[in-house]
Structure formats: structure tokens, C-alpha cells
Amino acid sequence: MKRIDWPTVRADFPVLQQTVRGRTLAYLDNAATTQKPVAVIRALCEYYGTCNANVHRAVHYLAEEATRRYEATRARLARFLGAAGPEEIVFTRGATEGVNLVAHGWGRKFLRPGDAILLSVMEHHSNLVPWQLLARERGLALRFLPVTPGGELDLTGLDAALAPPVRFAAISGASNVLGTVNPIARIGATARARGVPLLVDGAQLAPNRAVNLAELNADFFVCSAHKMCGPTGVGALWARSDRLTQMNPFLGGGEMISRVTLEESDWADGPHKFEAGTPPIADAIAWGAALDYLDALGMGAVCAREKELAQAARAAFAEIPGLRLLDGGPDRTGAVSFVCADIHPHDLGQFLDSRGVAIRAGHLCAQPLLRHYGLTAVNRASFYFYNDESDLAAAADALRAAHSYFA
């Protein structure tokens, strides 16, 4: 693994250079959204300044250049994720829309009353609510893999959990609360042996680990650019080509058709069938710059740096009186969730903000998982590669001060 000058990397992120509440910003809410390097900001501005036009529709220079850059990111993302080709990548507004697209386009078409969907207790609401809506509409049952006391998925009964009437499974690649990285390849292999299609919510996995879709044994995979140093408003659904062919379109309109009469329409092939209307062109193009940036660092280095910081944070936070860390599996992302005795998470979050430390406070869009732990809200400090020891020290100092302030 190459040696990286992390202070130089940090300098690539303008937002981290500012002061907040009179102190240098310590941004530790990366599981919610990551900051953007200069290269991504520049790519966004360059599109609007040099080739702002709609894609796939005109033959003039601006449209051709916009289309070229837009499709280059599709190909770039396919390589980043290890997809067979760009024809398997559908641009969406984010991971949430990707899950909804599959629920609508595949679930509505193939799931019947009495069928069941397998999820897990640690799912983000984005990979739970769409299936609840579909279950209510179609008369489906929802089943759940439990969580062990150590914060891992309990897979002791995995084969039985995937038995009929289960006909679909949707599992997070990593928990946004616990940081636990789930053994998706094992789950996918068992699901495939049972003939059960698997969707992986990769919103927390793709930013933090090298992903090779060929090894995951999945049928669908979703992710969001804004959690990968890219812009908000764009994400992707990867699906095996045969699954995309099987699916019905999610939205109707321009671009997703091949022929339209007054009475009926035929759909476009491949991913374009699911990209009705004007897509997030500028955001998709800038996402390509973010992927280039991550690749230049190397996802192995990103993962190692994140683990180093998160491990140090857990050790430092464990020394703070009254602070309880939530357990996670042996392989974790940079998410470190905790509660402090007698301090409401929202109060603690505001106290840390007064000292320039940005963390998350609340249910983290994972109410069932928190309920499993007997909690309604927690705090989360989530680290990314551009964080450094000063961020950790600022957070630990603020937590110690909070303990004294609220005592």
C-alpha cells in the first residue's frame, strides 16, 4: 500500500479549513454525507461553465460533450464497482430511489400475496420502508435476520430464513449505526442457492470498502454519490442485465422510450428505460471526478485510514465516564455510535457543536435497531479518510467537557 500524506489530502477539502463557533471545524458526520474535494467542485462548475446541455437528445456540440461526460461516469462507476459493463448501471437520485425502483419495477411485477421478503433488524429506513409499502400493497410478509449481542447479523439460521415463502432479500452492506460490515458474499451465495434475488444497500459500503460486485453474489446494489465525496442528488442502481430486462420502468416520460404512439409506448433498452426526464447531469459528471479521487488514493488506503481513526476514537471515548459505546462486528466502517448517561443525545450534539465538533444525534434513520438496544436516540461520530487526530482530540475533549457540564 502506497504511503499517503494525509495532511495534504485534507487540504483538498475547502469546507474543513473553516472555523465554526470560533473553533476549527471537526467534521465527524461522514456517514450522513461526506465533504467534497476541490476536484469535484471544479468538475461541477466546469460542466455549467463549458457544456451545459441536456443529454442524449441533440446533435450540437454542447449536448454531445455533456452526453460524453455523463456516460463516462456511468462507465467509470461500473469499473469502480466491478460491474460487467456500464449497461448495468442506472443513475438515480440516490440509494433510496434505487431501492424504491427495485421495489416498484421488480417487486410489484414478481411478488405475489403470501410471498415474503427477508430483511434485517439493522436496516436503514431507506431499505425498510419501501418494502413495508410493497408488503402492504401486495399482501406480503416481512421477515428479519436478528442482530447478535455483539452487533453482527445472526446468520445461524440463514438457510432456513431464505426458505419459501421468502422470494426476495434486501440487506445492508454495512450498518450506519454500528459500522458493522456484513458478510454479503455469504448471504448472497445462500440466497442464490435458494433462488432468492438479493438487493444490497451499499450506501455505507461503497464509500468505505473496495466493492467487487462479481464477488457479492447479489442481483441488485445501490449507492449514493454524496457519501463518496460526490455531489448530492445522484446515486446508482446496479442490476444484473437479466434483472434490468425483467423489470418494469419506475417513471414514464422522455428518454426512457424507443417508440411512442397516442395509445402505447415501447421502452428503451438497458439502463435508459429507468432514466425518464432530464437526469442529474452535472452531479453525475462530478461524481466521476469523485471516483477518480478515491481511486487515486486507493480504497485499501481509505479503509485502513478510516479504521485507524475509528479504533482510536473508540479507545478514547471508552475512557470518558458515563459513555457507552454500541458494539459492532470485527470488521467496521468509521461509524462510532454511543450514548452518555443522563445526557440526551440532542443536548450532547448541540454541546459539541458549540465547540466546533459536528456529530450526528437522533435515531439515525434506524429506529428498529435502536429499539432493539432499548434506545430511542444515540450520538454518532463517523470518521473518513480526511479526518485526523485533531478531529478526534477535539471530539474527546468536548465529550469530557460535556460530562462535567451536565453533571
* Spatial separation of the C-alpha atoms in residues 66 and 68, rounded to whole Å: 5
Q: What is the pTM of this model?
A: 0.97
Residue pair 325/86 in contact (Cβ under 8 Å)? The answer is no
Mean pLDDT taken over the chain: 96
Domains of the chain: 6-30+299-406 (3.90.1150.10), 41-295 (3.40.640.10)
Look at residue 304 and give its three-state secondary structure.
helix
Q: State the CB neighbour count (10 A cutoff) for residue 10.
A: 18
- Does the annotation mark 223 as catalytic? no
pLDDT band at 1 (very low <50, low <70, confident <90, very high): low
Reported residue count of the chain is 407
* Spatial separation of the C-alpha atoms in residues 389 and 201, rounded to whole Å: 30
Chain segment 116-148, per-residue pLDDT in tens: 999 999 999 999 999 999 999 999 999 999 999
DSSP 201-238: E-TTTTTTS---HHHHT-SEEEEEGGGTTS-SS-EEEE
* Spatial separation of the C-alpha atoms in residues 44 and 275, rounded to whole Å: 20
Which string of b and e fits 103-122 if b means at least 16 CB within 10 Å? bbbbbeeebeeebbbbbbbb
Residue pair 83/238 in contact (Cβ under 8 Å)? The answer is yes
Q: Pick from 144, 158, 95, 154: which is nearest to 368 by CA? A: 144
Chain segment 238-294, per-residue pLDDT in tens: 999 999 999 999 888 888 888 988 888 888 888 999 999 999 999 999 999 999 999
Averaged pLDDT for residues 172-177: 98
- Grid cell at residue 272: 435508459
